[in-house]
Structure 1
Amino acid sequence: MHSPSGVELAGLASLLVAVPAVALLANSGRRHTGAARRAHLLLAAGAAITTAAALAGLLSDLFLAQRPAQLGSAVAVAMALGTSTLLAGTLVLPGAAENAGAAWRHLLDGLVVGAGLWFVGWVLLSEPTRILGDHTPKPGVSILLPAAMAAVATGLTAVLAVHAHRPRHITVRVAAGVTLVAVAATALSSGICRSWPGIVLLGAVLLPGGLVVVAHAVKIADRPVEVTGDITQRNTGYAFVPMSAMVGALGYHLAAGGVFDVFGFLGFSVEGFALVARQYLALADVKSYTLQLRHRESHFRELAHTDPLTRLANRRGLVRALREPAARERPRVLIGLDLDGFKNVNDMRGHDVGDAVLVEVGERLRANLREGDVAARLGGDEFAVLMWATPEEAMLAGKRLLAVLGEPYDTEDGSVFLSASVGVAGSPAPGDTGELMRDADLALRYAKQRGKNRVERYQRRYDELLRRHSVLENELRHAIEREQLRLVFQPVVALPSMRPVGAEALLRWHHPELGAVRPDEFIPVAEESGLINMIGSWVLDQACEQLSQWLAVGHDVWVSVNLSPKELHAADYAGQVAGVLQKYGVPAQRLVLEVTEHAVATDMDELIRRLCELRSTGVRIALDDFGAGYSSLGQLRKLPVDILKIDHALVAEPESRTGTAAPLVDVVVRLGHRLGLEVLAEGIGSPAQRAIVEEAGCRLGQGSLFGWGVPAEHLEAQLETARSSGSRPVPVQRARPATKPTAPARSQVIMLGPGMRQLRALLPTDPAFSEGEVSRTGDQDVRSVDAPREMGQS
């Protein structure tokens, strides 16, 4: 024991400054969680170990009789442990590395740099260089171990300065503080070992300084940092710097006559093993990254070929399945499916319910697939199933799927009922995916056109129909400007006099190459392509112009024009009609707009609103093709119509079912009269049919018996002939039906549709048709009929 000098007391006082830094690190560790907490606790533990080792070593050197060499070695080991703990805390500090693997890579990179520094230091301190001369310390644990830790800490600081994430300055400050602690440990252990008070004081000053730097850097890190890494952004080019320095130093050392001793070998060995380990980790990173890329590529490829809603294949997935080689023993068949009326589900129930229905459709398709079949959702409510089967087997499968998809769909808002249309097509050639999908789509399209809720198999003639459809659409766009369209007029006569009192304007199209194109062929094309509004406007204009000419020369007639549902729902169609009437000075009551009974299948409230707008202009409305199967009695009472046109199928029935059709026509005529409507019988083609219509009390007739559609000048000649006969036209009025003795009344459901089956069940003496009122079943009311309105009068 000896009396402490002022230098030693100053060193002891300096070490006491490190105690608050240790306390600050410990308190910071308690305030954080997760990775930040672990890092701060490791830093606090390392600071405590180094501070305790330094205090213990200095106190032992001052007040206890200890051998300096052994005491220095003990201090070196203890402070090396503390420095290692500080380095570990630095590596796991948020922002230093994105994961444990990156931390190990940083450590190895620091070891590579540190080994280079160690080797250069060995060259500088050993023979023959010996830059410190006689002050060069002798090798020992008290110098080598803390010096090695200082070299590693310096290398790690350099690596973190390059690779640490934001906030990088905090991580670099912590690493620099740890480096100061490592240098202080070297000074303290070597100073105690060699009894160098000045070196001990230097270490005692550097140690609290380094800990204060660490504590301050940790304090300003206000929150943990989450980082993500990308190994493609990493590089190890800086490893060439220490390796080049080592090679250069070794060459200089050997050239100067130095000897490659155990310390040089140790430095080269550590550098070599560190580089090998670093290369191994780099290869492992590349392998892991490659596997991740493959997994992600597979995942995203699958997502790109999968419908996100139903988890079925999407269009890309179906095309991929179609491109796979087919089995030789079984042909490949594609079934196209489309839900009928699904748009109404989205409009009425909302898209959430619609999505739930689509998901259920996907589940039903998946449950009815065989092994190897592929179900896909192509978009919206369109699905497809790829099967390895014969066309006959595919037709059976299509019918089975039709039944499965037709079952109710239970949703939170109640059950949803849908039907489906199915098209089946076989593969014409291996790998011909485009043609197969087109064929299935064509078959599906014709299943829709033929009434829906059915299965259609592709036929080659569909291609011809498609090509003709395309040609008709293209040519129809220019038919008006090329003057290919014309109107013919079919007379409407008063019964029984058969005097013409009106005419129906019928559209005809004669193409110079295609010839005469039937209306039932080009009108659907016009409706599908959106040309119907343009063509309808032209028809309305031409018909009103011709009517104005007939009225100008004194002919007492009216003209009816057929109205498409798409025209009816066009914006301000009523204003368009009023404008045409004003343009040609035609009285509004002389124009009749005919609405097909099929339009009743649309939104009834909207239909009534549109018809009321038209009637407000003064024109009259006729319900065409009545009895075709869409109108019920309740709907007929609500519709604002003036004329009821009996479908030609009811009129033509007597010749095939004598004795049963007359009551049908009679029921419709009496029904129209009781509702205050004028009734017009269409399709009268024989005197027998005319007799039945007249006997039923119908006062207006139309059909081939009275004339086909003829040009305006021909009909005008008929009007001139009728006028020159000297008799006035018979006023066309609603007639009250005569009372006829019939069979006893039966209770019937009064429903006109679908078709004529329910109409046959009505008898003429049904109480629903009693004079002056119309009965409605159930909770419906009873209304009186106003006096009949006249038609065809000026």
Structure 2
Amino acid sequence: MLPQDVSHAVVARPTLSGRVGLVAAAVVVLGEAGWLVAGLPGAAEVSDLGAVAVAGWAAVACVGVARRHPPTLRRFWTLLAVTMALAALGRILWTVERLGGRELPHTPLIGGIFTAGIVTGTAALLCSLAAPRSLVGQARTLLDGVIVGLALIPIGWVVVFRDVAAADLTDPMRTLGLLYPMFDLIQLTILVAVAGPFRPMWRAWAVIGASLAARAAADAGYVSLVVHGSYAPGHPIDVCWPLSYLLIGAATAYRPPAGGDGGEETAESPLPPWWRVALPYLPVGGAIVAVVLARRPTGQTPHLVFLGMMALLGVLALRQGLAANENLRLVARLRRLAYADQLTGLPNRLTFNRRLRRALRDEAPVAVLLLDLDGFKQVNDRFGHATGDRLLASIAERMRDATGTDGMIARLGGDEFAVLVEPDRPPERLAERLLTALEPLPGEEDFGLNPSASIGIAEYGPQHTSHTDLLRDADIAMYAAKAAGKSAYQTCTPALRESAVSRAELIADLRRAVEEGQLHLEYQPIVDLATGVVRSAEALVRWRHPRLGVLAPAKFLPVAEETGLILPVDRWVIHEACRAAAAWRERAPQVTVAVNIAAAHLRRPDLIATVQAATAGAGLPPCALTLELTESALIEGSDAVLDQLRQLRELGIRIAIDDFGTGYSSLSYLHRIPATELKVDRSFVARLGAEDPRAYATVDMVNRLAAAFDLAVVAEGVETDAQHAAITAIGCVHGQGFRYGRPAPLPELLATLTPVDVTR
């Protein structure tokens, strides 16, 4: 696994001894290169001593960096140190044998040491942080390198040996010599595989890759020269080996990126590029062409080429077997991902729907329970999504235990679950068990981690033609359970189904109501109780439904708020009310207009723009518009909402707190909200006529409180003379209700813009 953050992949600050060693090794390589190129005496001895010195220094450097790195990197550098030590040892034995009289001492011992170095170098690459963690992945990477290396045998034959007199390679030295470039190519392929450009790159990989390339050039050149009989110890090609050792030592100066300590990756690795997938197979085509070209005039294929191709085919078959096994594991994993919920381990929506459709095809008398957690959003908002996920997993386990063998529980998504109840199992009893299972455990209630559930039950019947019908009925019942107070279950009935259908039709009709001009406004006057003069009028929306007739706000506004359709309705009301107010102010310049707006509008950033466009478009002064908002909408407002209200007040718009006393009345929010008036709720005014002393005291207290905050007071719902007398005695300035005028269209309001007789 490669580290994720490459911003710290910089050269480490080496110690003084490390810098001195690196400089000394570089001087040795440069000196050797100059000596060999110049052809000075003793070139063979200089070549051998230079290779031994630089390889030995590289081994020491790798040991030093291994001691400074964490265990996950220590193995990598230790294996490279062993590789360099074996290279130094092999070169020492080579030198001793050569000085003993053998010109090119390819003895089994020396060959074994060099081969062991190749094995340890390959092991270092395969145990690096970038390499695959699984044995299968490591085997696949190794086989990729072997495929590329074996493909080099027929290619090398054509390029190097074809025109050589001793092409039969009866000399074992020549035969074994061809394998060294093959091993180099195997290691280069493995390095590219584990540190390809599709992952963050550690700069040491580039240096190590350059080392392998230098060694591959040296081995390929050496084999070619030996086969052609033109190699002698001390040839300039010899400098490539100490150069490769020098680069290994230089790689120790690069520290891994931050986070390269072997920690687990948290993000999915990106897909490799196409060439990385095709890498082990690209040279195979060249090998096939080379086999054809390598055939002798007699039609025979050289034994080495034939054996190489047989080995290549065997490795390819093994590689394809691993790929097939991996594909099977991936298919199994994809099936788990497709049919199971990853957070809870429960079956997911797809699995649930398949099981439900199968049960309906068998005409089994099944039932569906649909569960939705109550208040789960507050858990996420308060404690974070990580806590919410842990709670979901815990709840899923408890519900799984409660369901037992009576059904299959699945997570449909979010905080919604469903249970497919087995035939002949009473769904109500299972619903009760589930509600009991969701009761808070010790400690959960104290921390607010105890969301309950609303459960809807739908039993299969002749009215269900598909699984979606059954789920729809369960959904209808679930919302009925929420409306009944939550933490409860409800069974779908024909009445509930009919009500839901009517509601859906109403929502569909409401979407067209604004565009088709079905809405209209009526205005109820607000009068000055001392003079009877109309001071304002509240705009009340009505819906001329083409089928149901005129609908009052209570019939459709709650549905509009639940579905978000209240926003276009409110915008239309604001514009229409401003136009109407501009018309009546030509007759009564002092009369303003009041408009109710929903809480959803307060959370929208375009509220101010909507109000400005409405007043400017109608030519209405902003001070002639009052926005009425409920207590709950204002109290739940954020700082952004309060900032919007302050901006509206700065424009001159008036703010009224509607239905005051029915919400969460608090002195603290009166300090924060830039209101201009309070509207006493009609429920208090209605009790004044019955001479209720508590109601009288409540209205009187609100009036005094408003005076303390310099707020105007409007008493709503005044219908009788007794109520009028009571609010007048209390000292309320303005009144609204049937006592002074019913809601009426604009032409009728214009006729009443004269003082109302408040004494009658």
The TM-score normalised by the length of structure 1 is: 0.57
Structure 2 CA distance for aligned equivalents of residues 416 and 289 of structure 1:
47
Residue from 31, 49, 54 that aligns with 2:117: 31
Shift of residue 312 of structure 1?
1.8
Deviations 1:330-385 (A, max 9, x none): 95333323334544554555433433333333333334332243332222232223
Shift of residue 215 of structure 1?
4.8
**Helix, strand or coil for the counterpart of 2:719?**
coil
Residues 531 and 755 in structure 2, CA contact (< 8 A), matched pair in contact too: no
Deviates further, 219-228 or 531-540: 219-228
Structure 2 CA distance for aligned equivalents of residues 696 and 406 of structure 1:
52
Question: Which residues of structure 1 form unaligned runs of 5+?
Answer: 1-14, 39-93, 103-159, 181-200, 239-277, 730-794
Residues 399 and 434 in structure 2, CA contact (< 8 A), matched pair in contact too: no
**Helix, strand or coil for the counterpart of 1:338?**
strand
Residue identity matched to 2:739: L
Matched with 2:357 is 323
Deviations 1:285-323 (A, max 9, x none): 999999987766454323211111222221112213323
Structure 2 CA distance for aligned equivalents of residues 578 and 431 of structure 1:
52
- Is residue 416 of structure 2 the alignment partner of residue 434 of structure 1? no
Matched with 1:423 is 456
Residue from 588, 612, 620 that aligns with 1:586: 620
Residues 18 and 207 in structure 1, CA contact (< 8 A), matched pair in contact too: no
Matched with 1:458 is 492
For residues 575-724 of structure 1, what are the structure 2 equivalents within 5 Å?
Answer: 575-653=609-687, 658-720=692-754, 722=756
**Helix, strand or coil for the counterpart of 2:106?**
helix
Structure 2 CA distance for aligned equivalents of residues 326 and 35 of structure 1:
63
Structure 1 CA distance for aligned equivalents of residues 123 and 612 of structure 2:
83
Residue identity matched to 1:425: A
Matched with 1:125 is none
Matched with 2:420 is 386
Shift of residue 606 of structure 1?
2.9
Structure 2 CA distance for aligned equivalents of residues 678 and 477 of structure 1:
37
Structure 2 CA distance for aligned equivalents of residues 394 and 221 of structure 1:
63
Residue identity matched to 1:422: I
Residues 561 and 593 in structure 1, CA contact (< 8 A), matched pair in contact too: yes
Structure 2 CA distance for aligned equivalents of residues 353 and 37 of structure 1:
43
Residues 682 and 716 in structure 2, CA contact (< 8 A), matched pair in contact too: yes
**Helix, strand or coil for the counterpart of 1:403?**
coil
Residue from 167, 179, 184 that aligns with 2:149: 167
After superposition, the Cα gap between the structure-2 partners of 1:360 and 1:464, relative to the gap in structure 1 and judged at 3 Å, is same
Shift of residue 166 of structure 1?
1.8
Matched with 2:15 is none
For residues 292-331 of structure 1, what are the structure 2 equivalents within 5 Å?
Answer: 297-325=331-359
Residues 369 and 455 in structure 2, CA contact (< 8 A), matched pair in contact too: yes
Structure 1 CA distance for aligned equivalents of residues 123 and 532 of structure 2:
105
Residues 569 and 610 in structure 1, CA contact (< 8 A), matched pair in contact too: no
After superposition, the Cα gap between the structure-2 partners of 1:166 and 1:289, relative to the gap in structure 1 and judged at 3 Å, is closer
Structure 1 CA distance for aligned equivalents of residues 177 and 731 of structure 2:
115
Residues 95 and 167 in structure 1, CA contact (< 8 A), matched pair in contact too: no
Matched with 1:512 is 546
Deviations 1:22-54 (A, max 9, x none): 34421223324479689xxxxxxxxxxxxxxxx
For residues 454-493 of structure 1, what are the structure 2 equivalents within 5 Å?
Answer: 454-493=488-527
Deviations 1:633-681 (A, max 9, x none): 3223322111111222222345679444332333333322233222222
Structure 1 CA distance for aligned equivalents of residues 115 and 445 of structure 2:
59
Residue identity matched to 2:172: L
Residues 656 and 676 in structure 2, CA contact (< 8 A), matched pair in contact too: yes
After superposition, the Cα gap between the structure-2 partners of 1:398 and 1:368, relative to the gap in structure 1 and judged at 3 Å, is closer
Structure 2 CA distance for aligned equivalents of residues 575 and 519 of structure 1:
25
- Is residue 565 of structure 2 the alignment partner of residue 526 of structure 1? no
Residues 395 and 457 in structure 1, CA contact (< 8 A), matched pair in contact too: no
Structure 2 CA distance for aligned equivalents of residues 394 and 304 of structure 1:
28
Deviates further, 488-497 or 557-566: 488-497
Structure 2 CA distance for aligned equivalents of residues 498 and 202 of structure 1:
123
**Helix, strand or coil for the counterpart of 2:652?**
coil
Structure 1 CA distance for aligned equivalents of residues 140 and 609 of structure 2:
71
Higher relative contact order (CA 8 A, sep 6+): 2
Structure 1 CA distance for aligned equivalents of residues 322 and 716 of structure 2:
81
For residues 251-262 of structure 1, what are the structure 2 equivalents within 5 Å?
Answer: none
Matched with 2:432 is 396
Larger Rg belongs to = 1
Shift of residue 700 of structure 1?
2.0
After superposition, the Cα gap between the structure-2 partners of 1:460 and 1:576, relative to the gap in structure 1 and judged at 3 Å, is same
Shift of residue 417 of structure 1?
5.9
After superposition, the Cα gap between the structure-2 partners of 1:521 and 1:167, relative to the gap in structure 1 and judged at 3 Å, is farther
Deviations 1:506-528 (A, max 9, x none): 01111232312232232234334
Deviates further, 422-431 or 561-570: 422-431
Residue identity matched to 2:444: P
Structure 2 CA distance for aligned equivalents of residues 384 and 710 of structure 1:
50
Deviations 1:178-218 (A, max 9, x none): x99xxxxxxxxxxxxxxxxxxxx999953333233345544
- Is residue 169 of structure 2 the alignment partner of residue 208 of structure 1? no
Structure 1 CA distance for aligned equivalents of residues 490 and 535 of structure 2:
46
Structure 2 CA distance for aligned equivalents of residues 202 and 559 of structure 1:
106
Shift of residue 595 of structure 1?
0.5
Structure 1 CA distance for aligned equivalents of residues 755 and 693 of structure 2:
37
Shift of residue 419 of structure 1?
4.9
Structure 1 CA distance for aligned equivalents of residues 713 and 442 of structure 2:
39
After superposition, the Cα gap between the structure-2 partners of 1:285 and 1:559, relative to the gap in structure 1 and judged at 3 Å, is closer
Question: Which residues of structure 2 form unaligned runs of 5+?
Answer: 1-100, 125-135, 194-276, 289-312
Structure 2 CA distance for aligned equivalents of residues 579 and 203 of structure 1:
95
Residues 402 and 422 in structure 1, CA contact (< 8 A), matched pair in contact too: no
**Helix, strand or coil for the counterpart of 1:582?**
helix
Residues 330 and 390 in structure 1, CA contact (< 8 A), matched pair in contact too: no
Deviations 1:392-420 (A, max 9, x none): 3244235325534998389xxx7656454
Residues 503 and 560 in structure 1, CA contact (< 8 A), matched pair in contact too: yes
**Helix, strand or coil for the counterpart of 1:720?**
coil
After superposition, the Cα gap between the structure-2 partners of 1:334 and 1:604, relative to the gap in structure 1 and judged at 3 Å, is same
Structure 2 CA distance for aligned equivalents of residues 317 and 625 of structure 1:
49
Matched with 1:122 is none
After superposition, the Cα gap between the structure-2 partners of 1:606 and 1:456, relative to the gap in structure 1 and judged at 3 Å, is farther
Structure 1 CA distance for aligned equivalents of residues 185 and 557 of structure 2:
80
- Is residue 533 of structure 2 the alignment partner of residue 568 of structure 1? no
After superposition, the Cα gap between the structure-2 partners of 1:561 and 1:219, relative to the gap in structure 1 and judged at 3 Å, is closer
Shift of residue 448 of structure 1?
4.4
After superposition, the Cα gap between the structure-2 partners of 1:311 and 1:502, relative to the gap in structure 1 and judged at 3 Å, is same
Structure 1 CA distance for aligned equivalents of residues 666 and 746 of structure 2:
36
Deviations 1:719-770 (A, max 9, x none): 2364xx8x9x9xxxxxxxxxxxxxxxxxxxxxxxxxxxxxxxxxxxxxxxxx
